[in-house]
Chain A
Amino acid sequence: MTTVPRERATSREVILDVRDLTQQFTVPGKDGGTVHAVDGVSFRIHAGETLGLVGESGCGKSTTARAILQAPAPTSGSVVFQGNDLTERSGRSLREARSQMQMVFQDPFSSLNPGWKVRDIVAEPLAVHRVGTAKERAARVNELLDLVGLDPQRFADRTPRQMSGGQAQRVGIARALALDPALVICDESVSSLDVSIQAQILNLFERLGRELGLTYLFIAHDLAVVKHVSDRVGVMYLGRIVELGSSESLYAAPAHPYTAALLDAVPRVDIENRSTSAPLKGEIPSPLDPPSGCSFRTRCPLATDRCAAETPELRDIGDGRQVACHYPLTAPAAAGTEGIAR
Chain B
Amino acid sequence: MTTTPPLLEVENLRVVFDGVLGSVTAVNDVSLSVDRGQTIAVVGESGSGKSVTARTIMGLSTPPGRIAEGSIRLAGRELVGLTDRQWRGVRGSQIAMVFQDPMRSLNPTMKVGTQIEEAIRLHTDLSKKQARARAVELLDAVRIAAPRRRVDEYPHQLSGGMRQRVMIALALSCGPELLIADEPTTALDVTTQQQILDLMGELQADMGMAVMLITHDIGIAASYTDTVFVMYAGQVVESAPTRRLFTDPRMPYTRALLDSIPSLDSPAHEPLPAIEGSPPDLAELSAGCSFSARCPRATQTCLTQRPALIEHEAGRAWACWHPVESKEAS
Contact B219 A269 (CB under 8 A): yes
Contact A279 B190 (CB under 8 A): no
Contacts of B219 in A (CB 8 A): 266-269
In the complex, A44→B218 CA distance in Å? 34
Contact A262 B275 (CB under 8 A): no
In the complex, A284→B159 CA distance in Å? 10
Contact B262 A221 (CB under 8 A): no
In the complex, A284→B190 CA distance in Å? 12
Interface size on B, residues (CB 8 A): 46
- Residue-wise, chain B 236-278 has the 8 Å CB interface mask toward A (1 for contact) of 0000000100100000000011101111111111111111101
Cβ of A247 within 8 Å of any chain B Cβ, yes or no, is yes
Identify which of A199, A248, A262, A269 contacts B190 (C-beta below 8 A).
A262
Contact B216 A283 (CB under 8 A): no
Contact B189 A57 (CB under 8 A): yes
Contact A279 B195 (CB under 8 A): yes
Cβ of A331 within 8 Å of any chain B Cβ, yes or no, is no
Contact B269 A196 (CB under 8 A): no
Contact A196 B45 (CB under 8 A): yes
Cβ of B83 within 8 Å of any chain A Cβ, yes or no, is no
Summarize B's interface: helix, strand, loop or mixed: loop
Contact B268 A267 (CB under 8 A): no
Contacts of B216 in A (CB 8 A): 194-195
Q: Which of A246-293 contact B (CB under 8 A)?
A: 247-248, 251, 261-271, 273-274, 279-281, 283-284
Identify which of B190, B224, B273 contacts A56 (C-beta below 8 A).
B190
Q: Which of A178-225 contact B (CB under 8 A)?
A: 194-200, 202-203, 206, 221, 223-225
Contacts of B262 in A (CB 8 A): 199, 202, 224-225, 227-228
Contacts of A164 in B (CB 8 A): 278
Contact A200 B276 (CB under 8 A): yes
Contacts of A224 in B (CB 8 A): 261-264
Interface size on A, residues (CB 8 A): 45
Given known A-B contacts A197-B278, A200-B276, A271-B222, A279 and B198 have beta carbons under 8 A apart: yes
Q: Which of A114-166 contact B (CB under 8 A)?
A: 164, 166
Contacts of A57 in B (CB 8 A): 189
Contacts of B273 in A (CB 8 A): 199
Contact A280 B194 (CB under 8 A): yes
Q: Which of B204-235 contact A (CB under 8 A)?
A: 216-220, 222-224
Contact B194 A265 (CB under 8 A): yes
Contact A56 B264 (CB under 8 A): no
In the complex, A192→B301 CA distance in Å? 34
Contact B223 A230 (CB under 8 A): no
Instruction: Name the 8 nearest CB pairs between A and B, nearest first.
Output: A267-B219, A199-B274, A228-B262, A56-B189, A199-B260, A194-B45, A267-B223, A196-B275
A-B contact pairs, 16 of them (CB 8 A): A164-B278, A166-B278, A194-B46, A196-B275, A199-B273, A200-B274, A200-B275, A228-B269, A265-B194, A266-B264, A268-B222, A269-B222, A269-B263, A273-B265, A281-B195, A283-B162
Using a CB–CB cutoff of 8 Å, the interface residues on chain A facing chain B are 56-57, 164, 166-167, 194-200, 202-203, 206, 221, 223-225, 227-231, 247-248, 251, 261-271, 273-274, 279-281, 283-284
